[in-house]
Structure 1
Amino acid sequence: MTQKVLSGSRNVAIVGPYSSGKTTLLESLLFVTGAISRKGKIEDGNTVGDATPEARNHKMTVEVNAACTKYGGIHFNFIDCPGSVELLQETYNALIGVDAAIVVCEPDPTRMLTLAPLFQFLDTWEIPHLLWINKMDRPSGTYSDVLTAIKEVSTRPLVLHQYPIRQGQDLVGFIDLISEQAYHYHAGAAADPVPLPETLRQEEHQARSDMLETLADFDDHLLEELLEEIEPPQEEIVSDIKLELGADLIVPVGFGIATEDYGVRPLLDALVRETPDPDATWQRRGEGISVDLPLAQVLKTYYSPQGGKLSLVRVWQGTLTDGESLNGERMGGLYQLMGQQQISLSQAGAGSIVGVARLDSAQTGDTLTIGEDSVEPLPRAEELAPVYALAVVPENRRDEVKLSGALGKLLEEDPALHWEQHGDTHEVILLGQGDMHLQLAIERLQRKYTLPMTTHLPQVRYRETIRRAQDSVHGRYKHQTGGHGQFGDVYLSIYPLERGAGFHFEDTIVGGVIPKQYIPSVEAGVQEYLVQGPLGFPVVDVAVTLTNGSYHSVDSSEQAFKQAARIAMQRGMPNCEPVLLEPITAVDISVPNSFTANVLRLISGRRGQILGYAEKPGWSGWDLVSGYIPEAELQTMILELRSLTLGVGFFQWRFDHLSPVPDKLINRILTTADAAS
């Protein structure tokens, strides 16, 4: 019988923009609950999270970190997620496995727009989330201004838990809006209850009324109480918050100073009493799944030089026992994670998030079950399309043979990475979400696989075609040596095709002037030439007709006719007015509408063509701008787009067509190509 999910646990992700203080909050949560005896600091490189060399070198979260603790009779698994917009795939993959999320932000109204992509993902997946405003000792606006800015980007109404108490600019305490009890903070201890300041009574009353009115939008009984001016019991208010939060209908809001542990205990109390337990999460996520088997899902994949592969797994249903097989592979160990520390487990019940060792074929997002039975896969986070690329070259050429294996493992750890090898440029291309994203990948290649790399922007895959036809171009190959010689003789007509037609070959040979067995060799010789035309690039949209020729009964051969065709092409193509073509991409840029004008200028400034813009479906206050942009101008566009949009703008692209390169750019492109070759 499938084991029931334990209600005494919670899986909570800590998410938020870069530099909001997520890792510091995790450290405070672990310290306040007694999981660690001393708090680490980012600058000292001794935090439970961010323990990898890359994280400590960049002083930022670069991958998902898991840690656990206990508070209020609840076992908590906290998942600290990267905040950089370039590492959002990591965050999204982890979020699908949690019961709730804490969204951490700074009290700066001008930066609240950076929360928009997170809110959108959380609400699309209906993941309950609380907002925690950190660094309240360094506000960049009033509390009211901060809340107003948050409301503009949150698609769910805010429900305030607390109201701040200040002395001058210093945050000294808070008023609990549920109990209307005031508290003063104390370093290293829980806040003390104090009388509610008379100077804040009116503001507190208004804030509490707003909270109750928001909750009453979802509870008719509470609405009746408010209309009849009946004071609702605290238990009813908490019950409403829990119910509406669990349905992702509201966003409770708290605040504090993580470095001082201020506001952390009230946050923990809210997590205990208001967030849904794993059973409720599974009822929502597993709706329609009737398989009575243990089910788990991979949230993150790690590779370490010493320990090999480790999968961070959410157990949705049933119990996992160490030594069992998942999807036909025997577990190499079952662990509870505390940052880099692994604590061996014999079992992991439903509702757990644990590490499972050496599941070689398991990928991030995969659904796992006991044995080899296949089950319908659970939904996984959509993979983000790459928007930036670098060509990578091992510093030592002998390392090229092990590059593909290392890149394969790197992509398992980070599904937002992609790699491909371009046949015409012979470059290995690493693609991802931005320059920082790819630089982290390069650092991991060197540290984990001893593969130091050099990088450069990829070569643009230019093409060339022709503008005019050339008839009866003669090519003769005659080579005499001892014994049999070589003889091939052809006449070719070359003419342009419409854009996108590709290559076409035919022959009009009559009377056997060229034997049929040699005609495929003529076509092969033509195609070999088209790999690099007169401008130095592959030739497209060209047709060639073999019209005449001659042969020698003894000296003719397939190779001779192939060479004759190449000679004819070399003679004829320069006279066909060759023209250089560049790839043009169709782009759809998503951007807050306050930045739409900037994006229109961005497209025009990169030789682009604006096709139009409209409201982005499902994204309030966002526009979707469509246009054509040359691939050469797209290479670094994400860097400028993020600079123009506080880091939140993004785009999707696809190859659309080839177009002639402007005359003023041709010489520069040809010179660069000559230097590269």
Structure 2
Amino acid sequence: MGSRAGGRRTGPKCIAIVGPFSSGKTTLLEAILARTGTIPRQNPVSSGNTVSDHSPEARAHAMSVEATVATTEFMGDTLTFIDCPGSIEFAFEAEPVLAACDVAVVVAEADEKKIPALQLIMRRLDELGVPRILFLNKIDKSVAGVRDTLKMLQPASSLPLLLRQIPLRKDGVVIGSIDLALERAYIYREYAESEVAEIPGDDKAREIEARFSMLETLADQDDQLMEQLLEEIEPPKDAIFDDLAADLRAGTLTPVLIGAAEKGNGVLRLLKAIRHDAPDIEATRKRLGAPEGNATVVQVMKTVHTAHGGKLSVSRILSGQVADGAELYLPGGEMGKVSGIYRLLGKDQSKLASATAGDTVALGKLDDVRTGQTLTSAKGGMAPLIELSPPQPVYAFALRPKERKDDVKMSAAIQRLAEEDPSLSLRHNQDSAETILSGHGEMHLRVVRERLEGKNQIPVEGHAPAVPYRETIRKPVEQRGRHKKQSGGHGQFGDVVLQIKPLPRGTGFQFTDTITGGVVPKTYIQSVETGVRDYLKSGPMGFPVVDVAVNLSDGSYHAVDSSDMAFQMAAKLAMKEGMASCSPVLLEPVTKVEILTPSDATAKIIALIPQRRGQILGYDAREGWPGWDVVEATMPQAEIGDLIIELRSATAGVATYSASFSHMAELTGRLADDAMNASGKAA
């Protein structure tokens, strides 16, 4: 290996482990930690004892629900791995991680159904400019040829997939690998380093062919290598390794390594590729556009609220050094003081005196700091190097504590959860008096609820948010309203004649007056409008009234007994009696929906839209996304509450949608009755 074989230190690195759901990311991290001696043995995910997926929610659902940080040492270098969830519902966890890491290890397998999920990940790495290594996992269970597998996976990657190893088989069973750069065979041993061996004679021709293919791809970026291949000159191994490293760092290709994480196979070759070939903090600093100079710059990747240690800000030190007690400035210029620096291994922490450029550590007690922010030692702070933009939520429920005394406690707990997961959205709906929690799928919000009840000990109730129905009228009417009351002293008197008529859909509410001769003094006309508006908050069907015009045409007053309140009451009486005669009708909100789906599921998506009272507007290929379509439709808001569950079920978990208000449409018959019954309104 020439110069690569030495013990040269390469500095701390940060590696994101990403990949489709259930591809083996957590298992790979466990294998890495066991191989580097950080943990005594590799535990299977089923044991519930892995370093990653340590939360009760992750173990209960047998899936990663948050990014887990684990730092280890390999060949004298510090490597921090961050295991990111594979489910699209928790994908935003990876956003601030990917931005600040040096390289991503993409864990994939020979499963055609997972290609769209792999494509989503690869596309995001492209957008962020993050170099990546593809680890083809579960090679021991794959029956397909490795090069056929790469052909299958290639459409998911905009970069060429470069095979660096091929499997070594005996009697059809994978027993090891052949490294195409080193031209050596490695015989797998369970949970141990592979045994170096000569390439078997029967496999030599296959190795030569695969190696030449690798060199041809490398030669696309290296003219000297191309000349050597054309002249049939064997290139030096050091030059091949230099090209592999240069192309990975430049983002011109994606090297592919193979293995079986469940048995610890292929892990050492992956670690060496990361150590020797992956870029370091200097390249990441340039990619993020971090300023040159002597100032310390820190990028916050994740926020964690611990039970006893308070708030931790998992951060990448991009430049400079951070010591305990250091003062760091937020983007707005506010100052925070670091109280504790910790190295993380899953849920475990070990205290450090300081951290330097390249380190990934947790900084304690920075209470005002948020995920995604950039901190600096320079007074005045600096603008964030990354911009976090959570996708539009696709699932929501109305949340309330089972006991009212927990209202404030629940709000504070949700605020902490939203700090840990910026993709959560919380709002208060004034119309329905509901607290609406929104996220990216049913499981996403289920985990939030479990954390409220488990970690925070707050029993909660959840239900589908109320649909904002409205009502309007179909025909005009003229109605008198008179409020007259006599008691001791001054009485109350107000008398109005209102002309009520429908307006075109979407117009809203209009109030006018055609009073002549002062039959209703100008001082009371505003009171009449106030009374009308107050009534329109809840019409005959119990919902807010829209698209109505009201004109005050006549009335009378009493010089002593008339008042603002009397005319408000008269207006309400006129509206109450008149609206019932205006043929009131219920309106429901209709949304425009844009669904992003793999093309092979488009027919299923189109079929389910009419089942939800939707109307298909059209569909087309998704621009720049081979194998994906965009389906546009309109659909009643009442039908999209659990739409995402059906979409994900039809697309192996990858479809999503965005929705925006389109218009209000009349709702009659049984559906209207059901809507009023569900809302507790009387017809």
Does structure 2 retain, via aligned residues, the 8 Å contact 1:388–1:434? yes
Equivalent of 1:335 in 334, 342, 345: 342
Conservation of the 8 A alpha-carbon contact between 2:15 and 2:102:
yes
Shift of 1:463: 1.0
Whether the 8 Å contact between 1:107 and 1:138 is mirrored in structure 2 is no
The partner residue of 1:367 within 344, 369, 374 is: 374
Provide the C-alpha distance between the structure 1 equivalents of 2:441 and 2:108, rounded to a whole number of angstroms. 22
In the TM superposition, 1:357-396 aligns within 5 A as 357-370=364-377, 372-396=379-403
The offset of 1:88, in angstroms, is 0.1
Query: Counterpart amino acid of 1:671?
Result: N
Q: Does 1:245 align with 2:266?
A: no
Q: Distance in 1 between matches of 2:645 and 2:160?
A: 33
Distance 1:190 1:676 in 2: 73
User: What are the superposed Cα offsets for residues 590-643 of structure 1, whole Å, 9 maximum, x if unpaired?
Assistant: 122222222222323322222223332332332222222211111111111111
**Aligned match of 2:216:** 213
**Greater shift after overlay, 597-606 or 650-659?**
597-606
Equivalent in the alignment of 2:679: 673
User: Could you tell me which residue of structure 1 aligns to residue 662 of structure 2?
Assistant: 656
Alignment of 1:132-531 (within 5 A): 132-139=135-142, 141-286=144-289, 289-290=291-292, 292-327=294-329, 328-370=335-377, 372-471=379-478, 473-531=479-537
Give the deviation of 1:35 after TM superposition. Answer: 1.2
Label 1:220 to 1:663 Cα distance change in 2 as closer, same or farther (>3 A).
farther
Which residue in 2 is equivalent to 1:112?
Answer: 115
Aligned counterparts, 1:26-105, within 5 A: 26-105=29-108
State the alpha-carbon separation in 2 of the partners of residues 490 and 306 from structure 1: 66
2:103 maps to a residue whose letter is: A
Cα pair 2:341 2:363 within 8 Å, conserved: yes
Question: Which residue of 2 is the match for residue 131 of structure 1?
Answer: 134
Residue 428 of structure 2 aligns to which amino acid in structure 1? Q
Q: What CA distance in whole angstroms lies between the structure 2 residues aligned with 1:193 and 1:41?
A: 26
Q: CA deviation at 1:334?
A: 1.3
1:525-604 → structure 2 map (5 Å cutoff): 525-604=531-610
CA–CA distance in 2 between the matches of 1:480 and 1:68?
Answer: 82
* Aligned amino acid, residue 529 of structure 1: Y
> C-alpha separation between the residues in 2 aligned to 1:434 and 1:243?
40
Change (3 A) 1:499 1:379: same
1:378 and 1:119 mapped to 2: Cα distance? 21
Question: For 1:214, what is the secondary structure of its paired residue?
Answer: helix
1:550–1:150 Cα change, 3 Å = same
- How many Å separate the matches in 1 of 2:118 and 2:111? 12
Deviation at 1:93, TM superposition (A): 2.2
Q: 1:78-128 CA deviation, whole Å, 9 max, x = no partner?
A: 111111110000012211110001111233233223211100100111101
Deviation at 1:29, TM superposition (A): 0.5
Q: Is the 8 A contact 1:466 1:576 kept in 2?
A: yes
TM-score by length of structure 2 reads: 0.95
How much has 1:676 moved relative to structure 2? 9.9
Deviations 1:411-467 (Å, cap 9, x if unpaired)? 111011101111111111110000100000011112232211111111111111122
- In the alignment of these two chains, the number of paired residues is 670
**Aligned pairs (5 A) from 1:627-646:** 627-646=633-652
> Which SS does the other structure have where 1:459 is aligned?
coil
Relative to the length of structure 1, the TM-score reads 0.95
Change (3 A) 1:480 1:676: closer
Give distance in 2, aligned partners of 1:555 and 1:253. Answer: 89
The 4+ residue runs of structure 1 with deviation greater than 4 A are none
Decide which moves more: 658-667 or 550-559: 658-667
CA distance in 2, matches of 1:580, 1:145: 58
Give the deviation of 1:49 after TM superposition: 1.6
Contact 1:589 1:650 in 2 (8 A): yes
Q: Equivalents in 2 of 1:140, 1:498: separation in Å?
A: 64
Gaps of 5+ in 1: 1-5
Q: CA deviation at 1:59?
A: 2.2
| Root-mean-square deviation (Å) | 1.9
The AA in structure 2 aligned to 1:129 is R
Q: Provide the rounded CA distance (Å) in 1 between the counterparts of 2:350 and 2:513.
A: 73
**Given that residues 419 and 430 in structure 1 are in contact (C-alpha distance below 8 angstroms), is that contact kept between their aligned partners in structure 2?**
yes
Please tell me whether the aligned partners of residues 108 and 139 of structure 1 are also in contact (alpha carbons under 8 angstroms). Answer: no
Contact 2:302-2:313 at 8 Å conserved across structures: yes
Contact kept in structure 2, 1:7 and 1:278, CA below 8 Å: no
Q: 1:662 to 1:614 in 2, by over 3 A?
A: farther
SS in 2 for 1:596: helix
Change (3 A) 1:141 1:581: farther
Of all paired residues, the percent bearing the same amino acid is: 46
The residue type paired with residue 528 of structure 2 is V
Q: Per-residue deviation at 1:259?
A: 2.1
Query: Is the 8 Å Cα contact of residues 126 and 247 (structure 1) preserved in structure 2?
Result: no
Partners of 2:420 and 2:166 lie apart in 1 by 42
- 8 Å contact from structure 2 (residues 406, 458) kept in 1: yes
Q: Is the 8 A contact 1:96 1:380 kept in 2?
A: no
Q: Show the counterpart of 2:332.
A: none
What amino acid does structure 2 have at the position aligned with 1:303?
H
Q: Any idea what SS the aligned residue of 1:528 has?
A: helix
Q: Which amino acid aligns with 2:674?
A: R
Instruction: Decide which moves more: 483-492 or 430-439.
Output: 483-492
Contact 1:592–1:622 under 8 Å retained in 2: yes
Alignment-derived partner of residue 3 in structure 1: none
Other-structure match for 2:3: none
Structure 2 contact 129–287 (Cα < 8 Å) conserved? no
Identify the residue that residue 5 of structure 2 maps to in structure 1.
none
Counterpart Cα distance in 1 of 2:580 and 2:210:
78
Give the letter for the 2:348 counterpart.
Q
Deviations 1:184-238, CA, capped at 9 Å, x for gaps: 1123432112222233233222222221122122222222222222222221111
1:617 aligns with 2:619: no
CA distance in 2, matches of 1:203, 1:583: 63
What is the rounded CA distance, in whole Å, between the counterparts of 2:434 and 2:388 in structure 1? 30
Structure 2 CA distance, aligned partners of 1:74 and 1:662? 69
Moved more, 650-659 or 138-147: 138-147
Q: Secondary structure at the match of 2:46?
A: coil
**8 Å contact from structure 1 (residues 468, 577) kept in 2:** yes
Deviations 1:527-548 (A, max 9, x none): 1111111122111111111111
Q: 1:140 to 1:567 in 2, by over 3 A?
A: farther
Deviation at 1:477, TM superposition (A): 1.2
Q: Is the 8 A contact 2:585 2:668 kept in 1?
A: no
CA distance in 2, matches of 1:44, 1:384: 34
CA 1:180–1:411: 2 relative to 1, 3 Å: same
Check the 8 A contact 1:304/1:448 in 2, yes or no: no
Check conservation: 2:296, 2:378, Cα contact below 8 A: no
Offset from partner CA, 1:630-657 (integer Å, 9 cap, x none):
1111111111111111111111222222
Q: Secondary structure at the match of 2:64?
A: coil
Partner Cα distance (2:649, 2:631) in 1: 17
